[in-house]
Amino acid sequence: MSKKSNYKNLLVVESPAKAKTINKYLGTDFKVMATVGHVIDLPKSKLGVDVENEYEPLFETIRGKGTILKELKKAIPPKGDVYLAMDPDREGEAIAWHVQNHLKIKGAKRVTFHEITKSAVLEAIKKPVKVSEDLVEAQKARRVLDRLFGYKLSELLWKKIWYGLSAGRVQSIALRLVVEKEEEREEFKPEEYWNFFVHIKKEKEKLVIKLLKRDGKKYIPASEKEVKDIQGDLKESKYEVVDIVKKQMNKNPYPPYTTSTLQQSGNNVLGYSAKRTMALAQSLYQSGHITYMRTDSVYLAQKAINEIRDVIVKKYGKEYLPEKSKYYKNKSKNAQEAHEAIRPTDFSITSTEIRSKMGSAQASLYDLIWKRAVSSQVAQKQVENLTIYFEPVKKLKNIYTFSVGAQKVLFDGFRVVYGKGNSENDVLQEISGIQKGNIFSKEKFEVEQKFTQPRARYTEATLVKKLESLGVGRPSTYATIIGTIQSREYVTKDGKYLLPTDIGRVVTHFLKDNFADLVDYEYTADVEDRLDKIAQGKLEYVPFMDKEYKPLMKNIKKALKDVEKEDVVILGKSDEKCPVCGGKMIVRLGRYGKFLSCSKFPECKGMKDLEGGADSLDYDKYLKVEECPECGANMILKSGKYGKFWACEKYPECKGTLPLLLQEKCPQCGKSLVERTSKWGKKFIGCSGYPDCKYIKKEKKKEEESKG
């Protein structure tokens, strides 16, 4: 008897990990197989869209997936059913459609579940539907639109800047945000201001009060002169308590995670990139531990709420259980990617169990998800804010107002899930006995000179939040968007902050000048809305594509005619003289950043490093490389896609290169150490002899550093 006859039904998913988990829940009647992602897509090396024939996509089998499709074809049972159980979103729907069409499966059953548990899988099998043509059409529209924009704009960038650049529809918005934030910071002019404090006392009670108002209006001194004038006014004045305000406030818990908020917490709390957060979440989902991780819904199923309420009573006590369950409203007007928020599938499973099975990274993310979901159903946090207002006595009364305040936690509420802190602070204990009319004498003045700071650069977390607020992209796209602008080297990282590169700025300004709609926030959000209408069957594919593609090509033709390459890549003049011919030099943008180029280029190829070349390097930290390891010629310092490096002066005849070598030597093999970056973007120091020597310098623990 053949293997084929051992089962009656075939169930197809896209992930081998997902297939492994589901296989545990289905009996011998089912064979579970995986497509390993997409099997059909647009070709890589050409446009792949027939724009003259209603934008028909010319889909083809992805290289290497032909074998998988053949195996799926062989596995189709002659009399049983084929279930297509790809992820419950448009991309999953498209994969199901491609498999169904390519294998010519008649009567294929589409099943979806938002958690890979036995009950969810078996329930889905009982309620199969047909593949949704509308969802497939919406995904096709997105894929084709992004291909047309990316392909056509990239061709233009090759002609007007240089070969190899690329542009994307949504990525260009993210890049614009980063560029404009940096330019806003560069234009920012700091303004001086001063904090004014008075140390006061009454018998054993000592306080520090801060200047709050002048003549009844909020007031912050703007100069040292103003500070001295205030000191001159106040002199040795005493201070009377004129008002005591107590206010009780309730703080509601946060809703459970959506894709966006999970990525933000992953970045803020754990330091993970959006890409890594999603990869870890996917592994947790595929192993059956959390619900589907691509969602913009904050809804929790009643079954999950009941489980959480049981956890609250057993783990924290009845006083933490609100009388009624909490329900949250979706902020996203098109929350359709999944029906539930991200939550554990079984709240009895702890992060310790996840750590033993899957590793510490997955456990840390699971712990965030567990705490967020559970805390969303815990009672409010209750606090009491106490503010005491002081005024100088006698003639200065009603002119200057000072204050001191504190907060008392009356009931920690949902914060209990995250661990209890101190219920009271020291300041509250100091001021709780003060009464209206009390008089304090002055001990001393204390002043602080401050300067206003520009708004912080974007982190991955704040960029995701901004994209979501603008309605740009969808939950499944944020990680890809942010990863793409970094892999294209339009954006780099300084610690956790995102900075635009020179080429990122040039591409952004080129697009803003010639394709205003493409990088317009409202326009891009409107495209997302119309893609949603296609998914809802309210808008047709061809009219949608016409509205986007025809204006794009009109603008491209205009840019081809009007924009000169030199206007884009020449950034300004320089007082430097060409080292080859002595002529004038200009600031030109190259593949790896700005540099000085002879104004007579291409007749004269003289150039200089804008940052001072080898003379600008810190030789207390780095080795100076004199000779080429290949031919013995002189080495010069150059800038590349991964930063500065040493290169032979005889390039391209000799291609000898070396990285920036540190003065510090490897303790294992004696070679120089070098600074490297991991695939997750984390910087570390390792041996330059890698892979022969795999030494990595360990970071000092914070407590050791503080002792030193």
CA dihedral in degrees (295, 297, 301, 306; nearest 10)? 110
Radius of gyration of the chain (CA): 32
What is the overall mean pLDDT for the chain? Answer: 89
pLDDT at residue number 31: 95
Chain segment 251-273, per-residue pLDDT in tens: 999 999 999 999 999 999 999 99
Chain segment 142-163, per-residue pLDDT in tens: 999 999 999 999 999 999 988 8
Where in the chain are all domains bearing CATH 2.70.20.10?
192-252+381-451
- Determine the residue type at 706: S
Nearest CA to 386 among 403, 404, 406, 401?
A: 406
Residues 186-192 have a mean pLDDT of 95
Kindly report the pTM of this predicted structure.
Answer: 0.81
pLDDT at residue number 644: 77
Chain segment 495-504, per-residue pLDDT in tens: 899 999 888 9
Confidence of residue 184 (pLDDT cuts 50, 70, 90): very high
Please say if 292 is a catalytic residue: yes
CA distance 400 to 234: 9
Q: What class does CATH assign to 3-131? A: alpha beta
What CATH code is assigned to 152-188+457-562?
1.10.460.10
Lookup: tokens for 215: 């003549």
Lowest mean pLDDT among 81-90, 103-112, 548-557, 690-699: 690-699
With tokens 């006698």, the residue in question is 394
Alpha helix ranges (H) inside 432-540: 460-470, 478-487, 502-514, 521-535
Where in the chain are all domains bearing CATH 1.10.290.10?
264-375
- Determine the residue type at 116: I
| Side-chain half-sphere exposure of 37, counting CA atoms within 13 A | 7
Chain segment 346-397, per-residue pLDDT in tens: 999 999 999 999 999 999 999 999 999 999 999 999 999 999 999 999 777 7
Q: Cβ(551)–Cβ(563) under 8 Å?
A: no
Buried residues in 68-77 as b, exposed as e (16+ CB within 10 A) = bbeebeebbb
With tokens 């305040």, the residue in question is 405
> Among the options 292, 366, 400, 622, which is catalytic?
292
Domain 192-252+381-451 has CATH 2.70.20.10: yes
Residue-level length of the chain: 708
With tokens 């997936």, the residue in question is 65
Where in the chain are all domains bearing CATH 1.10.460.10?
152-188+457-562
Those residues whose C-beta lies under 8 Å from the C-beta of residue 526, and which sit 6 or more positions away, are none
Q: Cβ(98)–Cβ(39) under 8 Å?
A: yes
Q: Give the residue, 130 or 609, on which the prediction is more confident.
A: 130
CA distance 562 to 670: 58
Alpha helix ranges (H) inside 350-489: 351-358, 360-375, 426-431, 460-470, 478-487
With tokens 């896609």, the residue in question is 641
DSSP 385-419: EEEEEEEESGGGTTTEEEEEEEEEEEE-GGGGGG-
What CATH code is assigned to 264-375?
1.10.290.10
Q: Give the residue, 640 or 627, on which the prediction is more confident.
A: 627
CA distance 197 to 450: 14
pLDDT at residue number 420: 65
Where in the chain are all domains bearing CATH 3.40.50.140?
3-131
Three-class HEC string of 260-284 = HHHHHHHHHHHCCCHHHHHHHHHHH
Alpha helix ranges (H) inside 103-132: 118-126
Q: Give the residue, 488 or 83, on which the prediction is more confident.
A: 83
Alpha carbon separation from 546 to 172, 517, 540 (Å, rounded): 21, 15, 11
With tokens 């401050």, the residue in question is 450
Q: Cβ(585)–Cβ(577) under 8 Å?
A: yes
Q: Give the residue, 626 or 234, on which the prediction is more confident.
A: 234
Residues 615-619 have a mean pLDDT of 71
Burial class (CB in 10 A: 0-12, 13-18, 19+), 396: middle
With tokens 């020179």, the residue in question is 502
